[in-house]
C-alpha cells in the first residue's frame, strides 16, 4: 500500500538534482533513501527514477507519480482548513517562487511580514533565474513580464517601466543618442532572461497617441556588445562605462540619482514588464494562496517606485 511518506519521497526526488540532495531535504541518509525508493518501485512494479554517479532523473512513470502525488499531498494539507472555516488561522506549507533580484529585495521582506501575521504557516521561498514556467512545485509564482499561459491566473501587482541608461563617461566618449536608431552605432548591454528576444527592443514616443488610438510601436534590432543573464551585472557594466543598458526603473533610479548613470532617450517609452503574481485557477486555490494574493497586492501594489526586474 502506498504511504504518505512514499508521496513525499517522490516529491523530494522531483525537486532535487541528486539522490543525496533529496536525502538532505527529507533528513535521511542517501542509502536509506535509496532503499525506500527500491521498495516503492518493487511495490509498484515499475522504475520511478534513473540514477547515475552525478544525477538522478525521474522516468515518465516517476514524473506522473510525482505530479499526482503532489496533488494528493496538497489535498491532505488543505483538509484541516475545511474544518475550521470560521478560524482565520492558516496552517500548512506555502511555496513561493520568484526571480533572484526581485525576490531578495521585495518578495522576501513581504513574506517575512506575512509570516508574522500567520505563525502557523510554513513558508518556502525558492529564488530562481527563471521561476516561470517551471511552476509545478510552487503554490504561487512572482513573474516579471508577459504571461502566455492560461492554466494559472495572473494578478498584476505593479507596473515596471524600463529605462535606457549609460554612464556619464560613456556618453562623453561616444555621444548621447538622440533617436532610437542611433543605438545601432552604440555598445548595447543585453539581459538574457525569460526566453525573450533580448536583441529586439520595442519602443514608442512618450505622450503620443490617445487611449483609443495609442501611437504605433516600433522595433529595433540591436547588436549586443555584452550579454548576461544577470540584470544587476548588466547595470554594473553600464555604470563602469561599457555601454547602454535597458533596465527596470527601480534598479536604475538610485544610480541615476547618484550620477553614476544617466537616463537616455527619456522621450521614448520602451516595453514595460509588469510584476505579476501567478496562482492556480480558483478550483485549485487554497485559503493560504488567497491570503497571500491579498497581502501581496496590498504590499507590492501600493503607489511608489516600480519594482525590479
Can you give the CATH number for the domain in which 176 is found? 3.40.190.290
Can you give the CATH number for the domain in which 149 is found? 3.40.190.10
Same-domain status, 279 and 140: yes
Number of independent structural domains in the chain: 3
Same-domain status, 155 and 173: no
- The pTM is what? 0.63
Alpha-carbon gap, residue 258 to 167, rounded angstroms: 11
Residue 108 pLDDT: 95
Same-domain status, 180 and 254: yes
Alpha-carbon gap, residue 90 to 96, rounded angstroms: 16
Alpha-carbon gap, residue 213 to 222, rounded angstroms: 28
Same-domain status, 235 and 105: no
Q: Supply the DSSP string of 183-248, one letter for each residue.
A: GGGS-EEEE--TT--TTEEEEEETT-B-SSSBPPPEEEE--EEEEES-HHHHHHHHHTTS-EEEEE
Q: What angle do CA 189, 193, 194 make, to 5 degrees?
A: 145
Instruction: Give residue for cell 525569460.
Output: 194
Same-domain status, 169 and 137: no
Alpha-carbon gap, residue 22 to 17, rounded angstroms: 8
Same-domain status, 154 and 283: yes
Q: What range defines the domain where residue 49 resides?
A: 4-67
Same-domain status, 95 and 150: yes
Same-domain status, 252 and 175: yes
Alpha-carbon gap, residue 273 to 161, rounded angstroms: 7
Residue 305 pLDDT: 40
Same-domain status, 166 and 246: yes
Kindly state the helix (H) or strand (E) to which residue 68 belongs, with its residue range: helix 60-82
pLDDT truncated to tens, each residue of the chain (309 aa)?
788 888 888 888 887 777 788 888 888 888 888 888 888 888 888 888 887 656 778 888 888 888 888 777 777 766 665 555 444 578 888 999 998 888 888 899 999 999 999 998 999 999 987 766 655 578 899 988 777 665 678 888 888 889 999 999 999 999 999 999 999 999 999 998 766 788 999 888 886 655 455 566 789 999 999 999 888 899 999 999 999 999 988 788 889 999 999 999 999 998 887 888 888 765 556 788 889 988 998 887 654 443 344
Amino acid at each position: 500500500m502506498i504511504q504518505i511518506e512514499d508521496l513525499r519521497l517522490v516529491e523530494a526526488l522531483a525537486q532535487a538534482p541528486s539522490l543525496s540532495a533529496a536525502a538532505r531535504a527529507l533528513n535521511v541518509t542517501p542509502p536509506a533513501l535509496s532503499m525506500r525508493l527500491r521498495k516503492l518501485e518493487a511495490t509498484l512494479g515499475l522504475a520511478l527514477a534513473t540514477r547515475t554517479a552525478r544525477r538522478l532523473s525521474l522516468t515518465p512513470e516517476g514524473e506522473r507519480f510525482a505530479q499526482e502525488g503532489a496533488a494528493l499531498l496538497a489535498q491532505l494539507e488543505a483538509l484541516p482548513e475545511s474544518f475550521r472555516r470560521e478560524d482565520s488561522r492558516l496552517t500548512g506549507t506555502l511555496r513561493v517562487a520568484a526571480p533572484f533580484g526581485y525576490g531578495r529585495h521585495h518578495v522576501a521582506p513581504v513574506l517575512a511580514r506575512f509570516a508574522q501575521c500567520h505563525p502557523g504557516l510554513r513558508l518556502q521561498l525558492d529564488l530562481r533565474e527563471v521561476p516561470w514556467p517551471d511552476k509545478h512545485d510552487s503554490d504561487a509564482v512572482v513573474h516579471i513580464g508577459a504571461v502566455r499561459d492560461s492554466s494559472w491566473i495572473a494578478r498584476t501587482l505593479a507596473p515596471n517601466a524600463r529605462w535606457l541608461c549609460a554612464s556619464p563617461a560613456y556618453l562623453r566618449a561616444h555621444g548621447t543618442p538622440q533617436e532610437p536608431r542611433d543605438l545601432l552605432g552604440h555598445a548595447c548591454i543585453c539581459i538574457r532572461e525569460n526566453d525573450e528576444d533580448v536583441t529586439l527592443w520595442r519602443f514608442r514616443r512618450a505622450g503620443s497617441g490617445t487611449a483609443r488610438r495609442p501611437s504605433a510601436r516600433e522595433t529595433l534590432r540591436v547588436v549586443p556588445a555584452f550579454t548576461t543573464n544577470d540584470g544587476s551585472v548588466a547595470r554594473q557594466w553600464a555604470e563602469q562605462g561599457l555601454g547602454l543598458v535597458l533596465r527596470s526603473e527601480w534598479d536604475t533610479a538610485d544610480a541615476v540619482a547618484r550620477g553614476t548613470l544617466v537616463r537616455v532617450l527619456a522621450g521614448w517609452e520602451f516595453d514595460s514588464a509588469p510584476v505579476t503574481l501567478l496562482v492556480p485557477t480558483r478550483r485549485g486555490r487554497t485559503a493560504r494562496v488567497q491570503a497571500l494574493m491579498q497581502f501581496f497586492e496590498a504590499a507590492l501594489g501600493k503607489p511608489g517606485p516600480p519594482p525590479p526586474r
